[in-house]
Amino acid sequence: MSGSLLVDNIGELVTNGPGEDPLGIRRDAAVLVEDGRVAWVGAAAYAPAADRRIDAGGAAVLPGFVDSHAHLVFAGDRAAEFAARMAGQPYTGGGIRTTVGATRAATDDELRATVRRLRGEALRQGTTTMEIKSGYGLTVADEARSLRIAAETSTETTFLGAHVVPSEYADRPDDYVGLVCGPMLAAAAPYAKWIDVFCERGAFDVDHARAILACGQAAGLGVRLHANQLGPGAGVQLGVELGAASVDHCTHLSDADVDALAGAHTTTVATLLPGAEFSTRSPYPDARRLLDAGVTVALATDCNPGSSYTSSMPFCVALAVREMRMTPAEAVWAATAGGARALRRDDIGVLTPGARADLVVLDAPSYLHLAYRPGVPLIRQVIRNGAPQ
Ligand SMILES: [Zn+2]
């Protein structure tokens, strides 16, 4: 977008930049945007002139949310499964195969429409960056087209051919791992930035996960991992060992898992997905244990039709505060700068000069209201890449 834009009269600006508090808060501030980037941040009284001006009216402004974990390429829904779970049935992950069947039967345009609908829904709730995974095709052609469609909407695309073993390979999982590492990876890699594995009992064990992630790394993809969601396991430590950008879920952790994530040389983020625990009525991850150990924590939606059908980062912030005992500041940082770390990005999740101009203007005087007023549409205006949406 050409021309400069001044977002002025900001009562509380969350920058996530250097400052006395972790959110780098500035009062009575303004942000100048040029060429899609933050050009200047400072006191409103000293704001430079600009071609256009948005008056925040004393409201809070924060970086756009970075949702680093979402499964948007699918067909159908699983509302009946949700209702059954709320009536007492446990979550096992097996319902993924229901969505696989519907996804394989869908046309490209049907899948594309779902991705765009959910991406639009998230954008209206302040999400300016959204990772999108494949994982409901589980054939060479269906995984490749899932990623091709995802790449139309996001640069943060993840190959999750190892989501579950599809039913046609149920009695020969080694053959399926061979397919994922061979022709499926070759077809998916041109559209993918990351590779991911659902490392869990009932999905892929740690040896299969290690083999698949190693193939992905050799193909130039970055590593992320679903680990320790439904029970304890070796997934988290495998992720740290492989230098994964993020290990996601982290609901069942041993002391050794926490130590590995907190290690001095560890760059792996622990991404917590409280929408999944909410929607499966499961115990939440122990965020305080991670934060107190010095682990970098991100929050994401896990948006998917089975275990967490929400696209709302404000909802996840509210859950993190109420149910996981994160402070509002920790939760907002995790949903912005934390998500950026989980995607190894330093140009988003912050509002400092040079960063991408992805901003959210709240209908509230403070970021605190994101947790204080749960379920309320507090996103007044979203600016993405410098462009008001
Ligand atoms: Zn997931």
- Determine the distance separating the centroid of ligand 1 and the alpha carbon of 306, expressed in angstroms: 10
Q: Are 196 and 161 in contact (CB under 8 A)?
A: no
- Determine the distance separating the centroid of ligand 1 and the alpha carbon of 185, expressed in angstroms: 19
Predicted confidence at residue 2, as pLDDT, reads 62
Residue 158: enclosing H or E segment and its boundaries?
strand 157-162
- Determine the distance separating the centroid of ligand 1 and the alpha carbon of 178, expressed in angstroms: 22
Q: What is the pTM of this model?
A: 0.97
- Determine the distance separating the centroid of ligand 1 and the alpha carbon of 79, expressed in angstroms: 17
- Determine the distance separating the centroid of ligand 1 and the alpha carbon of 198, expressed in angstroms: 8
What does the pLDDT look like over 118-154, one tens digit per residue?
Answer: 999 999 999 999 999 999 999 999 999 999 999 999 9
Predicted confidence at residue 93, as pLDDT, reads 62
Q: Are 153 and 124 in contact (CB under 8 A)?
A: no
- Determine the distance separating the centroid of ligand 1 and the alpha carbon of 218, expressed in angstroms: 23
- Determine the distance separating the centroid of ligand 1 and the alpha carbon of 174, expressed in angstroms: 22
Residue positions counted in the chain: 389
Work out the number of other CB atoms within 10 angstroms of the CB of residue 215. 20
- Determine the distance separating the centroid of ligand 1 and the alpha carbon of 368, expressed in angstroms: 27
- Determine the distance separating the centroid of ligand 1 and the alpha carbon of 56, expressed in angstroms: 35
Predicted confidence at residue 99, as pLDDT, reads 94
Distances in whole angstroms, Cα of residue 290 to Cα of each of 6, 139, 211, 250, 351: 38, 37, 28, 10, 26
Work out the number of other CB atoms within 10 angstroms of the CB of residue 156. 27
**Angstrom distance (rounded) from CA 182 to CA 177:** 8
Predicted confidence at residue 1, as pLDDT, reads 46
- Determine the distance separating the centroid of ligand 1 and the alpha carbon of 215, expressed in angstroms: 20
- Determine the distance separating the centroid of ligand 1 and the alpha carbon of 122, expressed in angstroms: 16
- Determine the distance separating the centroid of ligand 1 and the alpha carbon of 226, expressed in angstroms: 6
Distances in whole angstroms, Cα of residue 12 to Cα of each of 25, 154, 260, 360: 7, 30, 36, 12
- Determine the distance separating the centroid of ligand 1 and the alpha carbon of 149, expressed in angstroms: 18
- Determine the distance separating the centroid of ligand 1 and the alpha carbon of 312, expressed in angstroms: 15
- Determine the distance separating the centroid of ligand 1 and the alpha carbon of 21, expressed in angstroms: 32
- Determine the distance separating the centroid of ligand 1 and the alpha carbon of 48, expressed in angstroms: 44
- Determine the distance separating the centroid of ligand 1 and the alpha carbon of 305, expressed in angstroms: 10
Predicted confidence at residue 18, as pLDDT, reads 86
- Determine the distance separating the centroid of ligand 1 and the alpha carbon of 172, expressed in angstroms: 24
- Determine the distance separating the centroid of ligand 1 and the alpha carbon of 304, expressed in angstroms: 7
- Determine the distance separating the centroid of ligand 1 and the alpha carbon of 203, expressed in angstroms: 12
Q: How much helix, strand and coil, in percent to the nearest 5, is found in the chain? A: 35, 25, 40
- Determine the distance separating the centroid of ligand 1 and the alpha carbon of 182, expressed in angstroms: 23
Low-confidence stretches of the chain (pLDDT beneath 70): 1-2, 92-94
- Determine the distance separating the centroid of ligand 1 and the alpha carbon of 196, expressed in angstroms: 9
- Determine the distance separating the centroid of ligand 1 and the alpha carbon of 82, expressed in angstroms: 16
**Angstrom distance (rounded) from CA 49 to CA 80:** 55
- Determine the distance separating the centroid of ligand 1 and the alpha carbon of 51, expressed in angstroms: 42
- Determine the distance separating the centroid of ligand 1 and the alpha carbon of 69, expressed in angstroms: 6
Predicted confidence at residue 101, as pLDDT, reads 94
- Determine the distance separating the centroid of ligand 1 and the alpha carbon of 249, expressed in angstroms: 8
3-state class (DSSP) for residue 345: coil
**Angstrom distance (rounded) from CA 158 to CA 195:** 5
- Determine the distance separating the centroid of ligand 1 and the alpha carbon of 259, expressed in angstroms: 23
- Determine the distance separating the centroid of ligand 1 and the alpha carbon of 98, expressed in angstroms: 16
- Determine the distance separating the centroid of ligand 1 and the alpha carbon of 161, expressed in angstroms: 12
